[in-house]
Structure 1
Amino acid sequence: MSTVVGVACAGGVVLAGDRLVVADGRVRSRSRRHVLDFGSVGAAVVCGDVEGFVDRLDADVRSYRTERGDLRVDAFARLAADAADAFGASVLVAARDADGTPALRSVAPDGSVTEDRLAAFGSGAAVALGGLEAGHDPEASLDDAAALAGDAIAAAAERDAGTGADVDTYRLSACSDPPARASR
């Protein structure tokens, strides 16, 4: 399946996910990105049709920006929730709230949205979430949060055949710098 995680801290929000795609017990791809960069907002998704989900969410984000301008976390979470409901996806979203503070939301396959500080979805979610909870520091820097997220995915990869070792991240800094996506 794959595993994605989200970490919110004083330094901002980090989303991370592996690239492995496993279906029917067989590896289908080792290069599918589950972490998505839409500029000032980011998402991490786990579902059977990631490409379809990405196409839908990308179109919705473009339409929203054309009609309304800047995309904030609650509006972005609603867009992701509509797509999640259509594709049976579990999604983590990172965007700024109305005050400009980076925020993390979890979107379940039924479209329900939850505000979170830590979240994980996918086949290795239980292991990853345990690692996140054990090492989370609400006052951490963005670099520390990215390291924690990477370590959580690595721990899941060691214990879950559906989680790979190659990790992509999306970072949304608490300062006004533009977001940066990096690979590990």
Structure 2
Amino acid sequence: MKQVSEEVGAFYQHYPRLAAVVAAYHEGKPNAMVAGWHSPLSFNPPLFGVSLSPKRHTYQMILDSGEFSVNFLPSSKAGLIAALGGSKGSQMDKFSAFGIAREIPLKTNSPVLTDAYAVYECKLVDNRTYGDHQLLVGEVVAVHTLAEAFTADEMLDLKAVTPAFYLGKDKYIAKLKASVETMERERFGQPGSL
């Protein structure tokens, strides 16, 4: 039986969500945090948004530098993701403390994590308040991908990489048995196709 309430509760009904590591670099210092609320917003220009609390150290670094990166790590790095989410960049150098390896960014100074199977380098183009969070919109100016993690048509190959999913309340999916089935819209969009 479904329960109905006007109370949102813990607000985890829309999870699991792909965990992303949002990173910034300002005044010689890198920082990274975990974000569960993020989304592509436009193909042309390529825009990607992350929703961050303005209380986060990374948020201020992004405002100050005008750029950020969005790093997608495999589930095998769930421990690192949890460490980044459970520590404060204003109190420590997370990159040194957790031995995070970086690659050279192409168009920004934002950290590109070596362990990521995909990274977006973004230039900040908008910052708006929505409730208790800020929606930071970045134009994707460079994309880093691990070639063997993607199929020929640029889709994530779940046989090669299991993405890290966040369930809420410090819980991550570390293993996932995936099955991919192609569902053509033209075929299934017809009456009687189900």
TM-score w.r.t. structure 2 length? Answer: 0.28
Q: Rg: which structure is higher? A: 2
By relative contact order (CA 8 Å, sep 6+), the higher-ranking structure is 1
